[in-house]
């Protein structure tokens, strides 16, 4: 195997691994999920929600989800050349939506392809253009889930927690920082890849590298190593 091919394979494996990492809290949004009666309540019964910022019935429940921007950011971090395409096209060469208004797509990341479906349910009140964009976004989230993206949000409860364990959740304020050696590793990689350190720290909710959370080191290291593999060597 040639060196360039080996580097590409390692980069693809790193990118696929990155897809499975949990999203930081600031990239997780709240989606109001009301009953049919709640969604059709009169305008004078709706309130400006302090949780999601929308106007809806005061007693709807909220679901955690990853929005289009955060998902696109993760896809670009995993593979700058990621693509998606509809499973079928209509007579005009545009994505063919099914009889329910839904859409099947193929998402390709790091040379691997997975199917995804965008659901049109609860989007009937939107205009056609907005509804189609929402369906496409829904299909991308569904396909990305097949790569492990936001898998913990799709699952009710802790996906990997054993039934007989009762370990308390570690709060961000209680997380241990990385070691001085790990600070040096990240510092070197950030310099070698010309990474914007302010944006890098913000992604992981850290104020500085010495305060970088140890639980996020592996994810950050894999991301920077993948970026390094794609960065041309300086003469």
15 CB-contact burial (10 Å; exposed 0-12 / middle 13-18 / buried 19+) = buried
What pLDDT is recorded for position 10?
A: 75
Share of the chain above pLDDT 90, in %: 27
Confidence of residue 123 (pLDDT cuts 50, 70, 90): low
Confidence of residue 57 (pLDDT cuts 50, 70, 90): confident
Least confident segment among 19-23, 151-155, 186-190: 151-155
Tokens 């040096």 -> residue: 184
What tokens were used for 47? 């309130």
The conformation of residue 84, written as its DSSP 8-state character, comes to E
* Rg of the chain taking only CA atoms, in angstroms: 21
What pLDDT is recorded for position 200?
A: 86
What pLDDT is recorded for position 144?
A: 95
What pLDDT is recorded for position 181?
A: 84
Confidence of residue 233 (pLDDT cuts 50, 70, 90): low
Confidence of residue 161 (pLDDT cuts 50, 70, 90): low
What pLDDT is recorded for position 167?
A: 47
* Closest of 119, 152, 156 to residue 27, by C-alpha: 152
Instruction: Provide the sign of the torsion angle of the four alpha carbons 175, 179, 185, 187, taken in this order.
Output: positive
Q: Where are the alpha helices (DSSP H) in 45-97?
A: 68-78
pLDDT per residue over 65-92, tens digit each? 888 899 999 999 989 999 999 999 999 9
Cα(138)–Cα(96) distance, integer angstroms: 15
Q: Which residue has the higher pLDDT, 218 or 88?
A: 88
CB 132 within 8 A of CB 98: no
What pLDDT is recorded for position 155?
A: 67
Least confident segment among 12-16, 26-30, 40-44: 40-44
Q: Is the pLDDT of residue 46 over 50?
A: yes
Domain boundaries, the chain: 3-22+64-154, 172-230
pLDDT per residue over 163-215, tens digit each? 444 444 445 445 688 888 888 889 999 998 898 898 888 888 888 999 988 88
Tokens 């569904």 -> residue: 142
């Amino acid at each position: 195997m040639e060196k360039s091919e080996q580097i590409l394979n390692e980069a693809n494996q790193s990118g696929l691994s990155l897809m499975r990492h949990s999203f930081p809290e600031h990239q997780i949004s709240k989606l109001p999920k009301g009953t049919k009666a709640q969604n059709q309540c009169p305008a004078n019964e709706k309130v400006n929600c302090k949780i999601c910022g929308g106007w809806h019935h005061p007693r709807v429940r909220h679901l955690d989800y990853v929005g289009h921007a955060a998902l696109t950011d993760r896809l670009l971090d995993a593979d700058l050349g990621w693509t998606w395409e509809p499973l079928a096209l209509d007579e005009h060469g545009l994505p063919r939506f099914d009889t329910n208004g839904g859409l099947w797509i193929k998402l390709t990341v790091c040379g691997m392809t997975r199917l995804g479906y965008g659901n049109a349910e609860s989007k009937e009140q939107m205009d056609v253009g907005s509804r189609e964009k929402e369906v496409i976004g829904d299909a991308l989230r569904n396909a990305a889930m097949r790569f492990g993206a936001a898998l913990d949000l799709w699952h009710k409860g802790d996906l990997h927690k054993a039934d007989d364990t009762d370990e308390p959740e570690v709060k961000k304020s209680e997380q241990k920082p990385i070691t001085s050696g790990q600070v040096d590793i990240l510092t070197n990689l950030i310099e070698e890849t010309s990474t914007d350190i302010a944006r890098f720290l913000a992604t992981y909710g850290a104020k500085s590298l010495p305060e970088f959370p140890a639980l996020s080191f592996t994810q950050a290291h894999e991301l920077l190593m993948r970026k390094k593999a794609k960065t041309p060597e300086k003469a």
